[in-house]
Amino acid sequence: MSTEFVPFESIDDVSTRLSGQSYICSRNIATVVFLATRLGKPVLVEGPAGVGKTELAKVIATATSANLIRMQCYEGLDEAKALYEWEYAKQLLYTQILKDKIQDVTKGTSTLAEAVDKLTAEDDVFFSQRFILARPLLQAIESSEPSVLLIDEIDKADAEFEAFLLEILSEFQVTIPEIGTIKATTIPMVILTSNNAREMSDALKRRCLHLYIDFPTEELEREILRVKVPEAEAGLAAEITSMVQSMRNLDLKKAPSISETLDWARALVLMNVSALDQETANETLSVVLKYEGDLRKGEKELKAYANKKLEALNKAEDDSQDEEEAGKQDSDANGGQLH
């Protein structure tokens, strides 16, 4: 690693450095990240899909110039895939190539038992770190440089794996029977994410700090949009966010998340749209809503939203012809608050 690891100094430092990586976070997130680095505790991040849970781990790694070690969980994930595995093929290959050498070692023995004894003495050549395939957990423990260990979607793994993980997270050491115990020299920062497909065990939760990332507030979302899709004009960004915010209040199968907001903004920018009218909104709504039933509800909401906007616009026009622009902005604000 070329750059030096730089730990966070304060909560504000977390905020500024994460936003330097174009990750806009609330004060709450910054506080938890800061505390986690200081207390050396794992963080369990929960929240709806697409609010930037995984992204958080990535930007922490880049912001502190630490290694990111990622482990994706899935059903059936076991120790061999998560911790370490012997490289059988390599071991076999070596024994084949070194056949002559092995014969040298066993030369001069008269009985089979003697030969085996001799070979056994050389055992640790084959069961050494050389033949171990380090999986993410072992990598994180072995790493002498500071690292961020991201355990993604822990809820997808089985409960047994969770128990196993618990042991690793509390000790940060691994015992490999043939080699011995490997202890971490630098404790990695651990971030676990969960989509709540299943409730995590109390024991795991107790050991972790907890962070719940919800959908952002309207201002925060606008800020995120400004940083991530700078091409979108302020007016359009405001309309998109207030629209998405109001859609989250509908009873949808899948509420639009930040990534959907960003996709929508990018799509509209690509289409050279500078202001959201009902027609373009309807056409592009499938970017935001992913289910047929949701789309229908979303369209209805769009219509209501457009009507409200029109009303507010007319009213503003009645008040004063000149202040049309101001009236439009007013209506935006109204649209966002109506739910």
How far apart are alpha carbons 318 and 325 in whole angstroms? Answer: 13
Contact 142, 182 (CB under 8 A): yes
User: Is 34 a residue that touches other proteins (CB under 8 A)?
Assistant: yes
User: Is 11 a residue that touches other proteins (CB under 8 A)?
Assistant: yes
Question: From the CB of 283, what's the least distance to other proteins, in Å?
Answer: 25
Q: Which of 13, 19, 21, 35 binds other proteins (CB under 8 A)?
A: 35
Contact 105, 95 (CB under 8 A): no
How far apart are alpha carbons 119 and 122 in whole angstroms? Answer: 5
How far apart are alpha carbons 18 and 62 in whole angstroms? Answer: 9
User: Is 27 a residue that touches other proteins (CB under 8 A)?
Assistant: yes
Of the candidates 310, 233, 224, which has an alpha carbon nearest to the alpha carbon of residue 260?
Answer: 224
Contact 14, 34 (CB under 8 A): yes
Question: From the CB of 206, what's the least distance to other proteins, in Å?
Answer: 6
**Closer to other proteins by Cβ: residue 99 or 101:** 99
User: Is 158 a residue that touches other proteins (CB under 8 A)?
Assistant: yes
Contact 26, 232 (CB under 8 A): no
How far apart are alpha carbons 76 and 148 in whole angstroms? Answer: 24
User: Is 136 a residue that touches other proteins (CB under 8 A)?
Assistant: no
User: Is 74 a residue that touches other proteins (CB under 8 A)?
Assistant: no
Total interface residues for other proteins by CB under 8 A: 35
Q: Which of 209, 250, 267, 287 binds other proteins (CB under 8 A)?
A: 209
Of 28-36, 143-151, 233-241, 319-327, the segment contacting other proteins by CB under 8 A is 28-36
**Closer to other proteins by Cβ: residue 114 or 214:** 214
Of the candidates 318, 234, 330, which has an alpha carbon nearest to the alpha carbon of residue 276?
Answer: 234
**Closer to other proteins by Cβ: residue 158 or 218:** 158
Question: From the CB of 238, what's the least distance to other proteins, in Å?
Answer: 25
**Closer to other proteins by Cβ: residue 44 or 276:** 44
**Closer to other proteins by Cβ: residue 101 or 205:** 205
Q: Which residue(s) pair with 210 in the sheet?
A: 44
**Closer to other proteins by Cβ: residue 78 or 145:** 78
Residue 103: other Cβ atoms inside 10 A: 10
How far apart are alpha carbons 175 and 275 in whole angstroms? Answer: 61
Of 26-34, 65-73, 223-231, 266-274, the segment contacting other proteins by CB under 8 A is 26-34
Alpha helix locations (H) across the chain?
11-20, 27-39, 53-63, 79-82, 88-97, 99-106, 112-121, 123-126, 136-142, 159-171, 202-207, 218-228, 234-248, 258-270, 278-284, 292-319, 324-337
Q: Which of 99, 130, 205, 296 binds other proteins (CB under 8 A)?
A: 205
Could you list the residues that contact other proteins (CB under 8 A)? 11, 27-28, 31-32, 34-35, 38-39, 41, 43-44, 46-47, 75-76, 88-89, 92, 158-160, 196, 198-199, 202, 205-206, 208-212, 253, 293
